[in-house]
Structure 1
Amino acid sequence: MKKLSLKSIAIVAIAATSLMACNPLNKMSKYAENIKYNVVPNPLEVHADSVEVSISAKFPPNFFHKLATMSAKPVLKNSDGEVVKEFKELKMIGVEADGDGQKVDFEKGGTVSYTDKIPYDAAMENVTMTIVAVAGYKTKTKEFETVKIADGTITTSTMAQTDARPILGKDNFKKVIPRSVKADINYLIQQSNVRSSELSDEDMKALKAFVENAVANEFVFKGVTIDAYASPDGELTINDNLANNRAKTAGNSIGKILKKNKVEAAKTEGFITENGKGEDWEGFKTAMNASDIKDKELIIRILSMSSDGEKRETEIKNLAATYVEIADKILPQLRRSNITINADEMARTNEEITQLTKSDPSVLSIEELLYAATLSNDLEEKMRVYKLAKTQYPKDWRGHNNVGYIYVLKNDMTAAKTEFDAAAGVNKNATVSNNQGVVALFGGDVSEAKEMFSAASGAGAEVNYNKGIVAVKQADYSDAVSKFGSENTFNSALAKVLNGDNEGALKAIEASEAKDSAEGYYLKAIIGARTANKELMNNNLKSAIAKDSNLKTKAMNDAEFLKFRTDADFAAK
């Protein structure tokens, strides 16, 4: 073989140097490891079903050729090296290059940055983020060596449970229903005897009918109150006695009616309370205000100027012509006894109501039917009775609503939606809006659920809890904590974790029904990892996996435990 002369070697060296100068991509590729990438957050995190990332790239001086271009695409690769997701490209150009991109100075270097957000899917759970960078110069391109820049992905926010709370349409059933009837007995001037014509007036007929009905339906009579009055004309002492006598004669008349109908309670001492009220100046003032008497304003002023009855009467009588009209139109209606009979209607017993839902539900009121459903803990029995309610009382929204409520508990959201929509067709109220929001949330329509829950404000504590779930799913964790308030549930604890309150989260999960569940233990393990409490993390991971063996694989892939993957105690789970 011929040996190269010194002259030949020099020519080759000059040619290589010239080639390097003509193609700066080789130098850029050689020193690409000096590019410093910073990723926030790292590890990547899921919030509101998306992964958002901010990336900055710092270029050293004398690196980025003035006429070069460069594109850097962040990609996510699984453990097999397969690309499962790509983010948008970050484009850069030299200071003298044409095209789109952020400019990077050759002599000083520089920093470029960008933000991108992509939807999350399960393939992104256990991944690494790498940069695929390609530089260009004139017609030439060169791909740089792939560089890992971040890990992924913390998926804790996706653990939110859809335990949205529907609301029942409450019954207004009362075991005791107060009933009463009122009537008046009017008297002639200076008289206290009860005229037979008064006992035949329509209000007295209604009173007698009330007593007969109450006896027939076994009402419990509570008592009778009689307030008797005299008109404010004449001597005060006489009028006081007259009012007392009128109370007694009215009491005697009512006593006879009760005796005739065999009301046993009426035999009790004090059952009828007779109150002689004396002169009825308040009634006089009310009647005057309602009248068309010419001087009524003047008379009302007289009443306000003095509380002395005799002085009032004298002043009014001085208005001679007017007093004649008062004596004719106002005073007669004040000579009276006001009678009130009070009784309690006793509702059917629980046993009677339950039996009637099976034998003759048509006799039951809507309130009785809704109440009947609460007497059983069996969902099928509740459903049967609520269906009776919606069939018998189609214009009452609660029947459809409560059938829908049971469907939610049975996880049949399609049927629940049909019932809630029917309830809304009858009465679109806050309770129904909440329940429509519950169905939307179970169906994954967070925006629709949020709108429905906003319209449901005031329907009950359930609404705020449901708003809390929406807030978690929309990554508004401080609002979620606020909406959950003092609730101690898995979701309220999760919201605290995501809001940075690990201590509060641990207290909430320990006070919740989920504390001994697989998910509860797993969340406590995450709290342990976030607070670097290995004992808390390892003990709860062990308990979680004992409850659900699938959580072992999840834990190994979960970036919450990234720092502990090589830890012997963690790996032994």
Structure 2
Amino acid sequence: MKSNKLSTAIVVAIAFLGLTACNALKKMAKRANEVNYSVTPNPLEMHGDTIVMNLKGSFPTKYFHKKVKGVVTPVYKYDGGEEKFEPITLKGESVEGNGVTINYEKGGSFSHVAKIPYKPGMGNGELTLSLEGFFKSKSKVFEPVKVADGAIITPLLVQKQDKAILGKDEFKKTHPVSLFSDIHYVVNTSSPVNGDLGKDDIKKVKAGIKTWSKNERIKITEVYAEAYASPEGELSKNDNLANERAEHATKFWAAELKANKIEAGQNKVGKGEDWNGFKNLMTASDIKDKELILRVLEMYADLEKRELEIKNLAATYKEVADKILPKLRRSEIWVKADSLSRPDEEIASLALSKADTLTAEELLYAAAMTNDLNKKETIYKSFVRVYPNDWRGPNNVGFVHLLNNKVNDAKAEFEKASKITKNGIILNNLGVCERLNGNAKAAMDYYKQASGAGPEVGENMGLVYIMWGDYPNAVSGFGSSQTFNAALAQLLNGNPDGALKTIDGSNDKSTAMGHYLKAVIGARKGDNNMVVENLKSATSKDASLKEKAKKDMEFAKLKNNAEFQAAVN
């Protein structure tokens, strides 16, 4: 009899405990609407390759049973499926183990930061909380709670415009050439030394002028003369003497040009006495005590005193009088001309038929003149053959391969170029290949080594930093560049006004995507008119942007705006 009573008591106790368990969870479920949940940001935002959320919750007093444990799992549901964030465990005061303890009498709160990898299609979806409570051996699934709509995926607007750098030519349509001669003069006069006008350098210049006069690609532009006096005469007289010698020299060669029916300008400069020339000739001479003599002469602050001492020196040292001073009484003359390049048509033709007859700069210029990628590649390959030690050849072949989307072929050429020389241009281009092959970290390593090779390097770095979600460094990388990506980086970094100024200064300001980005900028500035007007412009150029705008959470606040609806429908 006692046994039956005991069994009955146990059954009743078990039933009571089960009822208590169910009641504890049921009471919490009934008051679930008193629990507050919030998520930031809302909508969620994609940065780098992840979506991060910060979930906060607060519980009222006398809600969370001391012996209850709860698990909250944020779940993001989208067209492609669902992705669960890391759950958070909450527990009553009497529950042992890990988790955030919630006080029964006072209530409590929690904060939970978690992330999921971004997947295509996640721009449209919703974040709900899956809630499950546990009391001893019992459990209950609570009604899910929706806490956020969709995700902003604006970083995906980044344009994957990796910028390789071409090895540029230094070709010039004209380059300066000149014929040089000098004329020596009798002391204290502007009369040439006997026989000086018949010496070899004068003859060579005369012959050169005749040859140039018959060459259509050479245009003589000027006779330029600089004249000097030896430093043993009076200072004022030496200045006048130098001017007279310069005048003589220009007239002499102007007459020669006239005889060849050539007109050219004249420019002359009298340099006065040539003290520096004297010092140089003395230093190169075999005169005994030359260093001491020069030191003593340099001590004279009074130039006229120094001139007198040089005159005395000439009387003492025959070499000074006969060999040094006569060389200083001179004019130096340049007959200057512009040498014109071959005509573009000739260069273009020879580049494809007789590449070895062209200079390196002409070949590179020929490649730059054509928009035909096949011809460019042919010319650059000829350049490699004719100028195998110039890195620009393989580098530019690689550049063309990139334009043809042959990334691995391009990389092989850039590696060839790097064996000839290592420079920032080649390192940048190797970085582009790595980025295109999905190796952003390796690309960034190359870009950092390529610093200073050109603005393209910073733009390539900015692109990678946007992909990584590092917007301050992206802005720094773009610097003063005015491009779509530079504007996007500024926007993502919290500077919509700067972004607007940049996109309006770029080549994309009137493109479909340029207007779309300006619409997003307008949304962040709270300027509905700016959003609508730019969406109209964007969709008129690219109708597919209508569907994109409808789903874009940047415009979530305008979903029911009539003007917005008219712009995207």
Q: Normalised by the size of structure 1, how large is the TM-score?
A: 0.79
State the secondary structure of the residue aligned to 2:369.
Answer: coil
Summarize deviations over 1:156-192 as a string: whole Å, max 9, x none: 1111112233333222112221112434566798996
State the secondary structure of the residue aligned to 1:39.
Answer: strand
Look up the match of 1:6. Answer: none
Look up the match of 2:107. Answer: 109
State the secondary structure of the residue aligned to 2:110.
Answer: strand
- Between the aligned partners of 2:171 and 2:197, the Cα distance in structure 1 is 38
- Which runs of 5 or more residues in structure 2 are unaligned? 1-9
- Between the aligned partners of 1:139 and 1:475, the Cα distance in structure 2 is 45
Look up the match of 2:221. Answer: 222
Asked if 1:403 is matched to 2:397, the reply is yes
Select between 117-126 and 94-103 the one with higher mean Cα deviation.
Answer: 94-103
User: Does the CA contact (< 8 Å) of 2:231 and 2:310 recur in 1?
Assistant: no
Look up the match of 1:427. Answer: 421
Shift of 1:51: 0.8
Asked if 1:469 is matched to 2:469, the reply is no
- Between the aligned partners of 2:240 and 2:530, the Cα distance in structure 1 is 86
> Which of residues 353, 360, 368 in structure 2 aligns to 1:366?
360
Summarize deviations over 1:89-126 as a string: whole Å, max 9, x none: 21333444332223333332322222222321114222
How do 1:115-514 and structure 2 match up within 5 A?
Answer: 115-184=113-182, 194=193, 214=212, 219-227=218-226, 229-233=228-232, 263-265=260-262, 279-288=273-282, 293-294=288-289, 296-297=291-292, 299-309=294-304, 311-315=305-309, 323=317, 326-327=320-321, 330-331=324-325, 333-481=327-475, 484=478, 489-502=483-496, 505=499, 509=503, 513-514=507-508
- Between the aligned partners of 2:240 and 2:525, the Cα distance in structure 1 is 86
Q: Normalised by the size of structure 2, how large is the TM-score?
A: 0.79
Summarize deviations over 1:200-238 as a string: whole Å, max 9, x none: 67x678757755764675533334445455544478899
Asked if 1:560 is matched to 2:554, the reply is yes
Shift of 1:58: 1.9
147 and 263 in structure 1: CA distance in 2 versus 1, 3 angstrom threshold: same
Amino acid at match of 1:303: E
State the secondary structure of the residue aligned to 1:134.
Answer: strand
- Between the aligned partners of 1:321 and 1:384, the Cα distance in structure 2 is 71
Asked if 1:59 is matched to 2:53, the reply is no
Amino acid at match of 2:176: P
State the secondary structure of the residue aligned to 1:355.
Answer: helix
96 and 199 in structure 1: CA distance in 2 versus 1, 3 angstrom threshold: farther
- Between the aligned partners of 1:100 and 1:322, the Cα distance in structure 2 is 107
State the secondary structure of the residue aligned to 2:441.
Answer: helix
User: Does the CA contact (< 8 Å) of 1:69 and 1:135 recur in 2?
Assistant: yes
- Between the aligned partners of 1:533 and 1:269, the Cα distance in structure 2 is 65
User: Does the CA contact (< 8 Å) of 1:49 and 1:158 recur in 2?
Assistant: no
Look up the match of 2:98. Answer: 100
State the secondary structure of the residue aligned to 1:459.
Answer: coil
Percent identical residues: 44
- Between the aligned partners of 2:514 and 2:311, the Cα distance in structure 1 is 86
- Between the aligned partners of 1:238 and 1:78, the Cα distance in structure 2 is 96
Look up the match of 2:82. Answer: 84
Select between 323-332 and 388-397 the one with higher mean Cα deviation.
Answer: 323-332
- Between the aligned partners of 2:232 and 2:309, the Cα distance in structure 1 is 12
State the secondary structure of the residue aligned to 1:43.
Answer: strand
Summarize deviations over 1:283-308 as a string: whole Å, max 9, x none: 21333455675353553453352343
State the secondary structure of the residue aligned to 1:44.
Answer: strand
Select between 110-119 and 286-295 the one with higher mean Cα deviation.
Answer: 286-295
Q: What is the RMSD of the two structures over their aligned residues, measured on CA atoms?
A: 4.4
User: Does the CA contact (< 8 Å) of 1:75 and 1:83 recur in 2?
Assistant: no
307 and 505 in structure 1: CA distance in 2 versus 1, 3 angstrom threshold: same
